[in-house]
Structure 1
């Protein structure tokens, strides 16, 4: 079984990779940082004896999901489990967030999730082999969050998208799960520019 993990260079994505490799899954790791992906992949291969392929892509760019899937086709890999983990947040007054930053956030947190799911799920269904999708949301997706407006809205999308697909694929041998962690000590808060204690709720 092969799992594709986005945002795999650190944090929850790297932990997904470690846990899946420990269970014997081959991996495809996707993130912007090629060096960190290569280092993680080398360690997983050595420790668990699994195949690990690495693709460096920025999921904020238009067409990134298509490029990831084209890379998969080039090396002849079929994905059985998609982990849409890549994401980042912005914090502050909406009008003061740098121009384009929230657009990039929506591209990573929403557009790439839909794009990769749309591109990979049909083949999972066609194989009939019990495929799955894990979408990493957030407890922020359960309510509007002032000063995290775009982030909370994006995670609300991830939650509802996942719940809807779960119903669509019920009984069709494809599982869909939304993981909604609360504030977690990862590099997320380095990007946001605040600490876990600043998160609402």
Structure 2
């Protein structure tokens, strides 16, 4: 039984010949891939988006700079209702990045971020998933990635813990309006995902 077969057996609630251990492909050390993958001791999981997103009425500018020996990138989003920005520290482990400044810093930022959300044009995009499955073969599985749930997007991507708590208790009307906008847009993604070639999806929380 291949790793792929084991994983899908487990996802269907069926018995496999042994427990299928997996690792996200981007986190798997290159120098250890061959012996572990060829023996079937561990498999890969590749998360691939099933849709494309465009925001025709949002202009994005970037500014790269160094601060205290760290490389950072500032993303500025300009919309008809105002501008917001976020700052990311880049160059972390596995090529990861960390948000140092979030988009929402004050009440006036809510309307800008909500405009950005409602401006999204979301369309099916399955080619990347199909190609990833062909490339993966039997050494792992490719799963459709829907992304974070609305509340998780607000916490992880737009606010951070401090502004999330402040917004929930002090600006609840603005908080709920943004949440509702994200929920409406996510419902579009449910349909796109359900009609995709991916049998399973990753969608939810991790904090």
TM-score, normalised to structure 2, is 0.33
Highest RCO, 1 vs 2 (Cα 8 Å, sep ≥ 6): 2
- Between Structure 1 and Structure 2, whose CA radius of gyration is higher? 2
Higher helix share: 1
Bigger proportion of residues as strand: 2
